A and B are shown apart, each in its own frame.
Chain A
Amino acid sequence: MPVITYTSQDQIEVYRFNLSVAIGVPLMALVAQAFLPRWLPFMTIFDLPFLVVIFFAVARRSQVAGLITGGVVGVLQDALGGQYIGMYGIAQTVVGYGASSLGVRLDVENAGARFLVTLFFYVTHEVVYFTVARGLVGLTLRWSWMRELGAALANAILAVFLFALLDRFKQRA
């Protein structure tokens, strides 16, 4: 029985994904994130796992699914990095929950909406990450608005194209 949610104006569709896509795409994003900066150092500005979390959260429109996807991807990101496990996990959990909550209420299928959603949640992600890193772990990270906004823009632009590509894997629930 497909779950259909509604906004005040339009009907919003809920999508599901094959198990292979649901596991394979985040995994490929993690591998690409770890591998691509070897050749293209500027790729570190992009956060592919973050984009994948946003995409799945918005498409599924389920807050629980969104936060769990975010949590798992974030913890895996932490595990591959050198820092404590949970820093990315917390940030991605919040992003997954927030994006799916937004997806329930708004239609975020068009490119403009995707751009803005990614922009907003990238900054949210960084704010949460820095708060955790400074407040809980005691790391001395330096916040730079210029850098964060630049990275947010870059990720938002990439999201428009990446989401269009990932739309092919969507299946109507």
Chain B
Amino acid sequence: METLITRYRNVSILVIVLFAQVLGLAVQVKRSSENESSRLIRIWAISVVTPLEKGIVGIQNGVGNVWHGYAYLRGVRRENRELKAEIAKLRLEQVRLSQDAEQGRRLQALLGFKEQFISRTLPAQVIGSSGSEQSRSIYIDKGSRDGIDKDMAVITADGVVGKVLRVFNSTSQVLLINDQSSGVGAILEKARLQGVLRGTPLGEVVLEKIMVDEQVEAGDKVLTSGGDQIFPKGLPVGIVTKIAKGNELFLSIHIRPFTNLSRLEEVLVITQKAEKAPAVKEASTPRAVDILSQRLPSVPDKPPDEPKKPAAADPETNQAKAIQAPKPGVSGSTNLRLQSPPKPDAESGPKAAAGAAAASPAAVTKSEPVTMKVSQSKSKPEPAARQRNSDDVPPAPPAQEKPH
């Protein structure tokens, strides 16, 4: 017996090691809380590898900052000019979008909808990946001590990235949307069809659970539906590239993610979401008198030095004045609320704010409203006042300058 064991010592050890690993696998598969059963090994591995990765990333960033901040400044002025021009363009666009958002909120309030707001995000740096094609995940340099929790959504300015899979003290593992074990509730923007986004073994993203008889076009945008309770509704995911017949009665819709998942550097973790009914401002509620005052022909102001005539002297003018006469809460000064540009979160960068604004209308609603006092003219409504009601009344023709 002893000779047998000595003779087959190596094979015996191999069998024992393999059996132990198979047993370990079986335990993990059996237990639903897989994370807990293997957590210790993962912590050891992470604590060995991530400090090195963080060190490399730190050195890389330091060198990159010195190079780009002090040495390589070619084209910076031109880029600065272009960025300023873009800011100006975006500001104009934002005014329009804020009007649309305001209208959307009013409609949501009318229908009793609740809205999800991204109330806080945390920027994080990608420090590594799983390094395997079988498991598509990344590591970020923020962990539980930074407020990261499991199942938090991870995004970039371009779109959705994934969700937090495991959280460690100063690191987190993020499961990418192209991993085959991931699942994201998604909706097609034009067709308004809801499905589930899944990764494939080849690292592609496919939208499933849409029936074969539905009309889906290539080029349609895919957004998060909010149905998974992880990603807020309306975040951009990708674009439809190919439509094929999938399993059984469902289509297999191939999606090209907006975010380049293989070249991630910085991401945003949505650390706090809020769900509430959209707030509708009192001032923006349409009132009959406001609509009437815009539809009626305006009367020019009279010069202040002109002597007052008896009311009965000019019945036509008096009629118009009677309609436009100051009424409680209508004339005088009106509180008009305009949306300020979305302020980046205290912890987020400007890219984050831009991304959040682009990503979701909810991000726009996050910005704090700025209250401005706009005095409403009796004779001619101010452009801002007209904008306020532009959703509720048909667009009026451009105001003609009347000779005084």
Chain A residues packing against B (C-beta within 8 Å): 27, 30-31, 33-39, 41, 43-45, 63-64, 67-68, 71, 75-77, 79-90, 93-94, 97, 129, 132-133, 136-142
Query: A79-B38, A87-B25 known; 19 other A-B pairs, CB under 8 Å?
Result: A34-B130, A37-B131, A38-B129, A38-B265, A39-B263, A43-B131, A63-B14, A81-B130, A82-B165, A85-B28, A85-B42, A86-B22, A87-B134, A88-B132, A93-B17, A129-B134, A138-B29, A141-B180, A141-B201
Let me know if B263 and A142 touch, CB within 8 A: no
A30-B49 in contact given A37-B129, A41-B263, A82-B165 (Cβ < 8 Å): yes
Chain B residue numbers with a CB within 8 Å of A136 are 22, 25-26, 29
Q: Is B371 an interface residue (CB 8 A)?
A: no
Let me know if B132 and A77 touch, CB within 8 A: yes
Nearest-CB distance from B287 to chain A (Å)? 57
Binds A, one of B67-75, B78-86, B135-143, B396-404: B135-143
Q: Which A residue sits closest to B44, measured CB to CB?
A: A79
Interchain CB contact (< 8 A) of B49 among A34, A83, A87: A34
B91-119: CB near A (< 8 Å → 1, else 0) gives 00000000000000000000000000000
A64 to B14, CA, bound (A): 8
Chain B residue numbers with a CB within 8 Å of A140 are 180, 201
Q: Is B253 an interface residue (CB 8 A)?
A: no
Interchain CB contact (< 8 A) of A67 among B14, B22, B46: B14
Q: Scan residues 176-201 of chain B and give those whose CB is less than 8 A from a CB of chain A.
A: 179-181, 200-201
A34-B44 in contact given A82-B136, A86-B25, A139-B180 (Cβ < 8 Å): no
What are 26 A-B contacts with C-beta separation under 8 Å? A27-B48, A34-B128, A34-B131, A35-B53, A35-B56, A35-B129, A38-B129, A41-B262, A41-B263, A44-B131, A75-B21, A75-B41, A79-B38, A79-B46, A80-B131, A81-B130, A82-B135, A82-B137, A82-B175, A83-B134, A85-B24, A85-B38, A90-B25, A138-B29, A140-B201, A142-B200
Chain B residue numbers with a CB within 8 Å of A45 are 133
Q: Which A residue sits closest to B202, measured CB to CB?
A: A142
Q: Is B224 an interface residue (CB 8 A)?
A: no
Let me know if A86 and B202 touch, CB within 8 A: no
Chain B residue numbers with a CB within 8 Å of A84 are 25, 28-29, 34, 38
A34-B139 in contact given A86-B21, A93-B14 (Cβ < 8 Å): yes
Chain A residue numbers with a CB within 8 Å of B175 are 82
Chain B residue numbers with a CB within 8 Å of A89 are 21
A126 to B200, CA, bound (A): 18
A169 to B97, CA, bound (A): 64
Nearest-CB distance from B56 to chain A (Å)? 6
Nearest-CB distance from B161 to chain A (Å)? 14
